[in-house]
Structure 1
Amino acid sequence: MLNVQRNKIKVHRFYRELFGRETTGLDLLAIVIGSVSLACLTLLFKWNADFSVIKKMVLTILALDIGGGVIANFTSGTNNYYAESLRKRYLFVLFHLVQPLLLIWIFPDELVAILGISLYTLACSIIVLRLKSPNNQRIVAVTLLLLSLILSTLLNYNDPLAQLIMQFFSIKLILAFSVHWTSINKE
């Protein structure tokens, strides 16, 4: 098991936004478990739902990305890759405007809740990114994430899966991505 954690795997250019320049077998395994778990839960909840096939496919792809992204953003490979450039970090956050828009298309009855959590999450992510100290990033991110989870509970989602996906979205962006975890590990 220790070799799986220590042995670095070079990542092909095409996958660097997902895994960084290098990763470990354990990191890849954890990312796959996170991706597949949320995707399977999504299929379990929505297999017989009154959605078009295309909406089910898009929702499953979003679940794969968000479930794996929560874990990937905590890994050294991904963390170091985005730490190289503040511009990359801001582009990553801005790119994540697309996911909530797709979720609103899939769950139109959840417009207010998804929009509220999305805007809060994206704003919090930028706030945490702007902090210089990784230790301050960690404390502020955990606090803002806690408030996001409380807000999510108060927003009266009709669909528990939409709520869960948005909670994972908040974890992925506020805590996992916006904190420079590798710097904390070095201190």
Structure 2
Amino acid sequence: MKSLRIHPHLHDVFGEEQPPAYLLAILLFGVGVAAVFAFSSRPLVAGLSRWRAALALLLVLDIAAGCVANFTPSTNDFYAARPRNRWIFIAIHVHVIIVAALLGAGVGASVAVWAYTIAGAAVVNLLAGHAAQTFVGGLLLAAGLAGLPLLPGLTPAMTAVSALFMLKVLFSFAVDHYRPHPSKNG
């Protein structure tokens, strides 16, 4: 599959090159999720100033698109070669809290989602190079997803965004999906 070279300013998002079909899928998924979020949260979004609504939807788009982008070999390989960048990426991801704050709904639950996700991503990232990394990442993701419906204050749309945030940071990003693991025993 022919790939496009990615501008260096976008390497943190897409890696160094991506097939056009992957770029299109990433964009369409991100825009699609943001559109469904806007539609399903219409009463909440309609009451916001335009800049708050736009920023919230842009962050939802980023969360959704990142879920897909982080599974691509190019983005995975970019961060696998730069462990320090992976730690920075994990540390700066506060998107789910900002979306909740912009909407004025579910902030406490979003802080809980963020804390669990970042702690889980740190554990998974510490397992880089171990065969158990994918299993532990999947286990922590499954536990987090199972707990989402139990959190008070999350609207259905914010529950979906919280699930995507967990998937993006805890599993899609923190797990090195394309590197052979040196040990079969972990």
TM-score w.r.t. structure 2 length?
A: 0.90
Of 83, 90, 95, the match for 2:92: 95
Deviates more, 1:107-116 or 1:73-82: 107-116
Matches of 2:30 and 2:59 in 1, distance apart?
Answer: 9
Aligned to 2:127: 131
Matches of 2:154 and 2:114 in 1, distance apart?
Answer: 17
Aligned to 1:43: 38
RMSD: 1.8
Of 55, 58, 82, the match for 1:58: 55
Instruction: Could you tell me which runs of 5 or more consecutive residues in structure 2 were left unpaired when the two chains were aligned.
Output: none
Q: Give the letter aligned to residue 84 of structure 2.
A: R
Does residue 67 (structure 1) correspond to residue 64 (structure 2)? The answer is yes
Q: Give the letter aligned to residue 96 of structure 2.
A: P
Matches of 1:47 and 1:59 in 2, distance apart?
Answer: 12
Matches of 2:52 and 2:156 in 1, distance apart?
Answer: 17
Q: Give the letter aligned to residue 114 of structure 1.
A: S
Percent of residue pairs identical:
26
What are the superposed Cα offsets for residues 77-103 of structure 1, whole Å, 9 maximum, x if unpaired? 110111111110000011102x13312
What are the superposed Cα offsets for residues 113-161 of structure 1, whole Å, 9 maximum, x if unpaired? 1011100000100110000335311110110001111111111234111
Q: Label 1:46 to 1:16 Cα distance change in 2 as closer, same or farther (>3 A).
A: same
Matches of 1:93 and 1:43 in 2, distance apart?
Answer: 26
CA offset at residue 184 of structure 1? Answer: 4.7
TM-score w.r.t. structure 1 length?
A: 0.89
Question: Between Structure 1 and Structure 2, how many residues are aligned?
Answer: 180
Of 20, 34, 39, the match for 2:15: 20
Q: Label 1:17 to 1:158 Cα distance change in 2 as closer, same or farther (>3 A).
A: closer
Q: Give the letter aligned to residue 58 of structure 2.
A: I
Confirm or deny: 8 A CA contact 1:157 1:163 kept in the other structure: no
Secondary structure in structure 1 of the residue aligned to 2:153: coil
CA offset at residue 32 of structure 1? Answer: 1.1
Aligned to 1:156: 152
Does residue 169 (structure 1) correspond to residue 130 (structure 2)? The answer is no
Q: Label 1:32 to 1:109 Cα distance change in 2 as closer, same or farther (>3 A).
A: closer
Greater helix percent: which structure? 1
